[in-house]
């Protein structure tokens, strides 16, 4: 499920690409979706500032990543899929929810909330990375997720405050690294009860290959939970 195209106002493209590579390697068939709604705003990624005169559609922008093969999120059903995965990027906090503006008091897009609840009710796994675990924390009360560390540690974890927000949303935060290591879940956290799998990704200032490997751990565990 995508939220636009570009880290500051949509889907983080490297994360989406990494997820797709790992899904392909795992033999999964993939269908991409995005809500057919206007973006909260458009960011000029060169300047890091809002482009005041522009407006864009989340589905249309997401189609750039999907190479045109994408459908409205309203068409996503649990009957057609074994799992659902949400990449990060500020679009998750701006277009899939209002977390970027409202924090713990945020609202989640109606279709995003429906999808999360439907997959959870059906006992089908949900994967999320970077900032997107806030969606599960908000919608699935008591879900265990990770966004990495809970302290900034000199700028290594610039968004560490999100861990506190997750607790305020009703979720349980679990500290994890963003790097690949020889732990059972390779720095992805697996909430076996709720079948929610999360990894920090770009919540950490680290090398791209570490983020790629962490996302791989998340995808691997999502696929494992499907039982296929």
pLDDT digits (tens, 9 = 90+) for 43-60: 999 999 999 999 999 999
What is the predicted pLDDT for the residue at 177?
Answer: 75
Q: Is residue 88 part of a domain?
A: yes
Give the number of other Cβ atoms within 10 Å of residue 204's Cβ.
25
Q: Is residue 181 part of a domain?
A: yes
Q: What is the pLDDT of residues 111-158, one digit of tens each?
A: 999 999 999 999 999 999 999 999 999 999 999 999 999 999 999 999
Residue carrying structure tokens 């009860």 = 193
Q: Which residues contact 74 (CB under 8 A, 6 or more apart)?
A: 35, 36, 111
pLDDT at 183 over 70: no
Q: Is residue 4 part of a domain?
A: no
216 vs 211: CA distance, rounded Å:
8
Q: Is residue 128 part of a domain?
A: yes
Convert 65-100 to b/e letters by CB count within 10 Å (16 or more is b).
bbeeebeebeebebeebbbbbbbbbbbbbbbbbbbb
Q: Which of 5, 9, 11, 8 is nearest to 132 (CA)?
A: 11
47 vs 9: CA distance, rounded Å:
13
The pTM of the full predicted model, rounded to 2 decimals, is 0.95
Domain count, the chain: 1
**C-alpha distances in Å from residue 93, one per residue of 133, 158, 159, 223:** 10, 16, 13, 25
Cα dihedral 144, 134, 200, 128 sign: positive
pLDDT at 176 over 90: no
Report the CATH number at residue 151.
3.40.50.880
**130 is a catalytic site residue:** yes
Q: Is residue 2 part of a domain?
A: no
State the Rg of the chain over Cα: 16
Q: How many CA atoms lie within 13 A of 27 on its CB side?
A: 4
Catalytic residue among 46, 106, 129, 130: 130
> What domain range is 20 assigned to?
13-226
Residues paired with 173 in a beta bridge = 145
Mean pLDDT (whole number) for 176-193: 70
């Amino acid at each position: 499920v995508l939220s636009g195209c570009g880290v500051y106002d949509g889907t983080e493209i490297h994360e989406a690409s990494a997820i797709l590579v790992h899904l392909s390697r795992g033999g999964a068939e993939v269908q991409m979706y995005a809500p057919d709604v206007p973006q909260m705003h458009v960011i000029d990624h060169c300047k890091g500032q809002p482009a005041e005169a522009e407006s864009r559609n989340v589905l249309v922008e997401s189609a750039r990543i999907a190479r045109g093969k994408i459908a409205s999120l309203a068409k996503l059903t649990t009957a057609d899929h074994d799992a659902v995965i949400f990449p990060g990027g500020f679009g998750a906090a701006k277009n899939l929810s209002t977390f970027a503006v409202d924090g713990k008091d945020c609202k989640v897009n109606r279709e995003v909330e429906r999808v999360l609840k439907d997959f959870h009710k059906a006992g089908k796994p949900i994967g999320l990375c970077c900032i997107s675990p806030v969606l599960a924390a908000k919608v699935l009360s008591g879900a265990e997720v990770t966004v990495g560390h809970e302290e900034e540690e000199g700028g290594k974890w610039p968004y560490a405050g999100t861990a506190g927000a997750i607790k305020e949303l009703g979720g349980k935060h679990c500290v994890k690294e963003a790097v690949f290591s020889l732990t059972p879940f390779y720095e992805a956290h697996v909430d076996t009860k709720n079948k929610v799998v999360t990894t920090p990704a770009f919540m950490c200032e680290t090398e791209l290959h570490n983020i790629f490997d962490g996302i791989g751990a998340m995808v691997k565990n999502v696929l494992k939970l499907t039982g296929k």
